[in-house]
Chain A
Amino acid sequence: MEPVKQIRSKTVVMPNVDIDTDQIIPARFLTTTTKVGLGKQLFFDWRYAPDGSDKPEFVLNRPENRGAAILVGGHNFGCGSSREHAPWALLDFGIRVVVSTEIADIFRSNSLKNGLVPVIVDKESHAWLLANPGIEATVDVASATLTAGGKRIPFPIDKFTRYCLLNGVDQLGYLREHEADIARYEAAHA
């Protein structure tokens, strides 16, 4: 994973609550055996008309939102299935931060494995972000803050998560460094 330090971008707002992973990428696209190129299938059923053309009213299709990397979603973003295809699709499309008042556990964990930053903010800040779509924002991992429009919004992040993002830590490598501990556990529980 590449290090993730700071993301500066305008925001794109999807105020829907409970955006589930079946909306982020429908299950019928999970027959893939790779993780590349899934951005085309992101929000597929909300994004495309039956003839395959873009639905002009869908928020990610609007010209003013092109290139936005910070997605502000409604409460409880990413609920549902464990598919890591959801963060893969978001990242491939160009989304690098997801902001909400609550982010589902497995989606959050999957996002962090791929450098997609889950940002949980308080209700008041969230309401303000929802009311100001397209605002220029900066998400800074080291200071765990989202700054926009003169506001400085802190978000919770544990030390290990921050360390992994800032240094692009390969968590599999980290686990493998604990081989002696794992072997000891297995010997004690054989």
Chain B
Amino acid sequence: MASNGLKFALFLGCVIPNRYPFIERATKNVFEKFKIELIDMEGASCCPAPGVFRGFDIDTWLVVGARNITIAEELGVDIAIMCNG
């Protein structure tokens, strides 16, 4: 894929890859059209969902969310996100 130099780490979340993969497919198609490279965030987890997991325990929500951010930090690129939590 020809790239215009722009790169993003793609955060998948849960519902899009596991229930509505057409959104993942469509996103990849759009980014390909714009020649923007998407890098997989290997081992990323649930965001975790603010409506539920933050309701259970705010600290856990922050800790697991921070782990997801460190994955993109190691890749050295900004995150592109499809899900809205």
Q: Does B associate with A? A: no
